[in-house]
Structure 1
Amino acid sequence: MYTPKTNAEEDLPTLRKFVRDNPLCALVTGGAKGMVASHIPMVLHEEAGGFGVLRGHVARANPQWKEFAAGEEALGIFTGPQHYISASWYPEKLTHGREVPTWNYVAVHAYGPLRAVEDPAWLLEHLRTLTDENEVIAAVPWKVADAPTEFIAKLCGGIVGLEMQVVRVEGKWKVSQNRNERDAAGVMEGLDGLGTAEAKVMRELVEARRPLV
C-alpha cells in the first residue's frame, strides 16, 4: 500500500484497535486461477512480540480455502471511515483555482502465511469467540450454546477455518494531514455542513490528526 510518511500509522495498539473495531476483512490470496478475495469477519488474537493472529472462516463451498498453497502469504484488508473531500472546501480555491478534490480514508493491510483449518474443536472455539466479541451490541447477547449442539455441529461441518500469522502490517490514515491549517479548517467546515454521520466521523479524524505542514 502506497503510504506517504505523513499518512503512515505504525503504533501497534492503534492498528490492533482499528482491526478489532472494523473486523470485516477482504482476504486476498493467489492461486492457479489468479487472485481471489473473500469478505469475512476476522478475529484478532494478540500475541506478545508480534501483531497477532487473525482467525476467520469461509463456507466449505467457497473454493478459496482449497486454492492457495499452505503457508502462502495472504493479504487481509481492513477499511474504515472514508469520505469524498471537495476542492471547493479549500480556501485558496477562490484565489488561484489550483485545487482538486480527493478522498480521505483509513485502512490497515495485514500480511502473513495462511492455513486452512478443518478441526471441529478449533472451529467451535472460533465461532464462540467471534460471536462473543460481536454480540455485545445486543441487549441479550446470543451465544453458541443457545443453539442445539447437533445444529452447531452440522454448521461447523459446512465451514473451514482460516488462520493468518501476521508478519507485516501497514496502516494508512489519509485524513488531510498533507494540507495546511487553513485547508484543514475548510475541510472540517465542509464536512460539518453535510450533517451526516459519515461526515461527522471524518471531521473528527481530521481534527484529531491536524496537518503537519
Structure 2
Amino acid sequence: MYVPTHFDEPRTEVLHALITENPFGTLFTHGKSGLDANHIPFDLKAGEGAYGVLHAHVARANPVWQDVANGDEVLVVFRAGDAYISPNWYPSKHELHRQVPTWNYRVVHAHGRVTIRDDERYVRGLVARLTRTHEASQPRPWKMTDSTADYIDMMLKAIVGVEIEITRLVGKIKLGQNKEVRDIEGAGTALNERGENVIGEAMLECAAIKAAKAGDSPA
C-alpha cells in the first residue's frame, strides 16, 4: 500500500482501536489455488504476540482453510470508513480554483502468518467471545445457551478456526492532513451535513489537531 508520510499512522494502539471498532475484515490468501479473498469478522487479542493476534472462523465448506498451510503469509484489510470529497467543500477552492476531487478513508493492513485451528474448544471460545461482543448492545443479548446444546454442537462442527499472528501493521489515515485547516474543516462539515459522520467527524478532529499544533483554531 502506498502511504505518503502525511497519511501514515504508525501507532499500534491507534490501529488496534480501528480494528476493534471495525472488526469485519477481508482476508487475502495466496494458497494452492491462487489468490483468494474472504470477508469475515475478527476478534483481536491485542496483548498476544508482538503486534496482536487475530482470531476468526470460516465455514468448513469454505476451501480456504485447506488451501493454505500453517505458517503461510496472509493479509487482512480493515476499512474504517471512506467518503468522496468534493472540491466545492474547500474554502480555498473558491479563491484560488486549485482543488480537485478526492476520496478520504481510514484503512489498516495486518500482515501475518496463519494457523488453522480445527478444534472444537478453540471455535467454541471464539464464537462465545464474538457473541458477547456483538450482542452487548441488544436489549436482550443472545447467548449460546439460548439454543439447545446439540444444535450448538452441530453448528460448531460446521466451522473451522483461523488464527493469524500479526507480524506487521500498516495504517493509512487520509483526512486531508496535507491541506489547510479551513479546507479540512470545510470538507468535514459538509460530510456531516450529508450524514457521512464517520469521516466527517474524523476530519473535524484532524482540523482541530492541526490548528492546535499551529497555535491557531479552526474557523
TM-score by length of structure 2 reads 0.89
Structure 1: which 5+ residue stretches go unaligned? none
User: Which secondary structure does the structure 2 equivalent of 1:190 belong to?
Assistant: helix
Q: Percent identity?
A: 37
Q: Distance in 2 between matches of 1:177 and 1:8?
A: 10
Where in structure 2 are the equivalents of 1:81-96 lying within 5 Å?
A: 81-96=81-96
Tell me the secondary structure at the aligned position of residue 134 of structure 1. Answer: helix
Provide the secondary structure at the position in 1 that maps to 2:99.
Answer: coil
Post-superposition CA distance 1:22-57 (Å, at most 9, x none): 110101100233210111000001226622110000
Alpha-carbon RMSD = 1.7
Alignment: residue pair count = 210
Q: In 2, Cα distance between the equivalents of 1:96 and 1:129?
A: 53
Q: Report the TM-score when normalising by structure 1.
A: 0.92
Q: Indicate the residue corresponding to 1:50 in structure 2.
A: 50
Give SS of 1:137's match: coil
SS of 2:136's equivalent in the other structure is helix
AA matched with 2:47: E
Which residue number in structure 1 is paired with residue 4 of structure 2? Answer: 4
The corresponding residue for 2:40 is 40
Given that residues 28 and 74 in structure 2 are in contact (C-alpha distance below 8 angstroms), is that contact kept between their aligned partners in structure 1?
yes
1:148 aligns with 2:148: yes
Task: Identify the match of residue 203 of structure 1 among 168, 186, 200.
Answer: 200
Is this contact kept in 1: 2:57–2:159, CA < 8 A? Answer: yes
Offset at residue 207 of structure 1 (A): 1.5
Aligned partner of 1:31 in structure 2 is 31
- Cα distance between partner residues in 1 of 2:133 and 2:8: 28
Tell whether the 8 Å contact from 2:82 to 2:104 is kept in structure 1 after alignment.
yes
Distance 2:129 2:191 in 1: 37
The CA deviation at 1:69 is 2.3
Q: CA deviation at 1:3?
A: 1.2
Which string of whole-angstrom CA distances, capped at 9 and with x for unpartnered residues, describes residues 52-80 of structure 1? Answer: 11000011111111111221111011111
Maintained 8 Å contact 2:56/2:126: yes
Q: Work out the CA distance in 2 between the residues paired with 1:74 and 1:16.
A: 18
Cα distance in 1 between the residues matched to 2:160 and 2:48: 27
Question: Which runs of 5 or more structure 2 residues have no equivalent in the other structure?
Answer: 215-219
Distance 2:148 2:48 in 1: 36
1:130 corresponding residue in structure 2:
130
